Structure formats: C-alpha cells, structure tokens
Structure 1
Amino acid sequence: MEQGITVILVEDDAPTRDFLAAALAGGEGIALLAAAGTLAEARAALERARPSVLVTDLKLPDGHGTDLIREVRRRHPETEIMVISVLGDEVTVMEAVRAGASGYILKDARPIDLITAVRDLMEGRSPISAAIARHIIRRVHAAPAEAAPEAPAAAPPLLTSREMDILWGIAKGFTYNDLADRLGISRQTVPSHIKNIYRKLEVNSRSEAVFAAVEMKLIKLSE
C-alpha cells in the first residue's frame, strides 16, 4: 500500500472507459497504468506491466472477460482481479468467480465505490455488490440439493490448523493485516498461506474458496 496501487482497466465502451479511468486516476495512491478497450489491448498492456489490480468488464468486442481473468490468474497470481459489469445474472457471476475474480461490482456503483473497492481488494477483502452476493448465497444454500445423492462424498482436503484459521478469516472478511494481527504472524506470510488454501481447495479466489469450503462442510457461514 505504501508504494501505491497500480491498475489496468478493461472496458469496451469509450465514454464509460473514460469515466472509470478518470475516477481511478483521481483516487489517492492509485496509478492507472492503462485503459484498454479490447482483450488484445488488455493483453498487450499486461505484457508491458504487471498491475496490482485488474478491473475488467466481461462483454468485450473480441472475446469474454473471463478468458482474461483465467489468463491473469494463471500467469500473475499476485494480481487482484475485479469485475465491473452490467451483467449480473447468476451464471455469469459464478463463471467469473470460478475463473478467479475476487470482486464483482455492477456498473451502477458510484466512482467513489470503485476506488473503495480497489483499495478493499488490496486489503484482502472481496468487494461484491449486494445483488451479486445474493447469487452466491443462493448457490451455497442450493448446493446440497444439487448434489447427486448416489455419489460418494469425497474426502475434504487436509488443511493445517493455520490454514483453517486463515480460511475462517477470509470468510469473515478480515484483511491481510487483520489476519496477521489476530494470528500473530507476519503480513508477508498471509498470501503464502492463502495460496496453499487455493491449491488444496482447487480454487482461484477468496470468494470461490469460501464457496468451496461451505460445500465441503469445512466451515458454516452461520457460525
């Protein structure tokens, strides 16, 4: 945070792109590295620089934003990814989360909300619009009913006690600093533990980790 937050923005509509770019550039401590209008432009920008945060639309003229999310999550796992889109249906939302998005906000958000969301991502939170959160909660509640009754239950992945502590913290929305302070560990070790959790749960983002942990009955959201 002391060195500032660098952002690459991907939005195909030029007026909207200019509006969002101006909002991001006006945020204290935020540096906008590039504002791309296509997947090709976004990929070129990502070759030139590795941002702290990728803010991307989903519906692009030369492809879909989820493809870019998967690429960035695979090649630059330390980059935080947030979707900002008019698409708020459950299928699209869950696809983006599974691809690796850690945040998802709708385009009705005010400029200050976007800046706050970017900062929240860097603090370890997952900014999600209320309508999007409802989709995820519905999927969590529906998961037991959707499971085939005859399928044998797979053994849950073996997480260490430290990883379970951090998983609980993720579910409760704690920041990296919160987790470090509460668990008495260094701030730098928290991302390493989180990456181990992602690997064991076979997920790519905090939102997906919580979703998977609930499905596997590792945690309960009501607790």
Structure 2
Amino acid sequence: MWRVLIVEDDPEMRSFFESCVARSPALALAGCVGTVAHARDCLARPGEGVDVLLTDLGLPDGSGLEVIRQARLTHPDCETLVISMFGDEDNVLASIEAGALGYIHKDAAPEDIAQTILEMKAGGSPISPMIARRVLTKYAARQAAVPPPAAAPPPVERPPLSRREQEVLGLIARGFSYQEIANLQGVSVHTVQAHIKSLYSKLAVHSKMEAVFEATRMGMLPRHD
C-alpha cells in the first residue's frame, strides 16, 4: 500500500482528499494536516514512510514548496502531486523544480483523486490541460529567448511511433486520463501504460508535458498559438 500525506488548509477539501484515500484499497493515510509546520512534523517522524505527498501551495504558515523540498530530502522515493488554486506558470514551474511530478488545478480536480495518485505511481505525470498549455507556452517562450549555439548539433534520430502510440499521444495532448484513453481504445489501462512507456522512451522524455512539447516540436502534433 502507498502511504499518502495530505497537506491542505481548507477543511472541506482536506476531508474530501482523506475520504478518497480511505476508499482506495491501494492507499493508506500517513497524515492529514493543514500547515507547513505540521507537515514537517509528519515527514520527520522516524520509521514512518511517506510514498505520496498530496499538497496545496498556499498554506497559512508558508508555501507548499517548502513541504515538497522537505519530502524530497527525508523521503527520496516520495512522489508529489500538487493540487492548488494557483495555475500560473511560475508556481507550476517552481513546483516541478522543487520535485513535484503532477499539478492539478483545484477547479479541475477529479472526482476520485485516488485514481490520479495511482496513475502517478504507475509512471504518469498528471497535469490539468489548462495548466499544461500555459507551461508549454511559457517553456517555448523561454526556449525562443535563448540564443542559438554557434554550431547546431546534428538532429537526433528518433524511432518512429507506432500508429497506436500516435493515437495515445494525441489523446494525452487533449488531456484524457489513462482510464479514459483505455476506454476509447478498447484496451486495458495496463496496455495504455505500456504504450506511454514506449513513446516516452522513443521521445526521450519522462512526463506527459515533456512528451506533448517534444512531439509538437517534432511536428507530430499541431501547434496552437
């Protein structure tokens, strides 16, 4: 079972997250707190592992970024999912740099957050489509601002994606979840994860966001200005 630490200052939202975790046989609650200080205490408890950190960013006594960094130091295998009202590029990029693997806007939070956690533990990087678009736009702008090198390296030859991998990639770019893709394709979630793992390898990326950006750069997906 994956042990989940919930850090959320809104009592109603915290209760919702806690009930989602409690209903999943694959998850166990490691703690449910509302401040940075209490989160630090939970992460500092000897002998108690934390496999997943589910955290907000705007907390009464500080930023969830502090909690993410602490979790990364004390529990190196812990994976972080941010669920926040902050959807701007700076907060998203700061969370990713601190160690977060997923970022969901509260307005787009799924009905069952446990499924999103399990998708992340299976190798995914859940991110709200709205936020993904903003981050990709910001990242593209940053890349465009960087002066080109004196001598551009030769293009890297990438193995071609299979037809099914291309279909899955297109659905990822449109914001569909693993389960939704499996339903649309008429296959199991495990098969979808296998396709995603293969296309990640072929594109030399590690997350949905990177896959969409790289595929767009390579002309596999249409650009949206």
The TM-score normalised by the length of structure 2 is 0.67
The superposition leaves residues 18-73 of structure 1 with CA deviations (integer Å, 9 ceiling, x where unpaired) of 12211221223211121011011111111222211100000111110112112222
Distance 1:112-1:147 versus aligned 2 partners, 3 A rule: same
CA distance in 2, matches of 1:153, 1:42: 48
CA distance in 1, matches of 2:219, 2:80: 24
- 1:132 equivalent in structure 2: 131
Contact persistence 2:50–2:75 (CA under 8 A): no
Give 1 or 2 for the bigger CA radius of gyration: 2
The one-letter amino acid paired with 1:83 is: V
**What does residue range 11-160 of structure 1 map to in structure 2 within 5 Å?**
11-48=8-45, 49-110=48-109, 112-148=111-147
Contact persistence 1:20–1:111 (CA under 8 A): no
Which is further off, 69-78 or 48-57?
Answer: 69-78
The one-letter amino acid paired with 2:65 is: T
The Cα of 1:126 is off from its aligned counterpart by 0.4
The one-letter amino acid paired with 2:87 is: G
Instruction: Specify which of 6, 10, 18 is matched with residue 7 of structure 2.
Output: 10
The one-letter amino acid paired with 1:105 is: I
CA distance in 2, matches of 1:46, 1:23: 21
CA distance in 1, matches of 2:26, 2:105: 23
Of the two structures, which has the highest relative contact order with CA contacts closer than 8 Å and spacing of 6 or more? Answer: 1
CA distance in 2, matches of 1:46, 1:126: 23
CA distance in 2, matches of 1:113, 1:143: 35
The Cα of 1:154 is off from its aligned counterpart by 11
Contact persistence 1:97–1:207 (CA under 8 A): no
Distance 1:220-1:69 versus aligned 2 partners, 3 A rule: farther
Regions of 4+ moved over 4 Å: 151-155, 172-175, 205-208
SS of aligned partner of 2:114: helix
In the alignment, does 2:184 pair up with 1:222?
Answer: no
Distance 1:145-1:17 versus aligned 2 partners, 3 A rule: same
**What does residue range 206-217 of structure 1 map to in structure 2 within 5 Å?**
206=207, 210=210
SS of aligned partner of 1:131: helix
Unaligned runs of at least 5 residues, structure 2: 154-168, 173-177, 179-189, 199-203
The Cα of 1:153 is off from its aligned counterpart by 8.2
CA distance in 1, matches of 2:18, 2:137: 33
The Cα of 1:136 is off from its aligned counterpart by 2.1
- 2:157 equivalent in structure 1: none
Contact persistence 2:72–2:78 (CA under 8 A): yes
Percent of aligned pairs sharing the same letter: 37
The TM-score normalised by the length of structure 1 is 0.67
Unaligned runs of at least 5 residues, structure 1: 156-171, 183-196, 199-204
- 1:169 equivalent in structure 2: none
- 1:178 equivalent in structure 2: 194
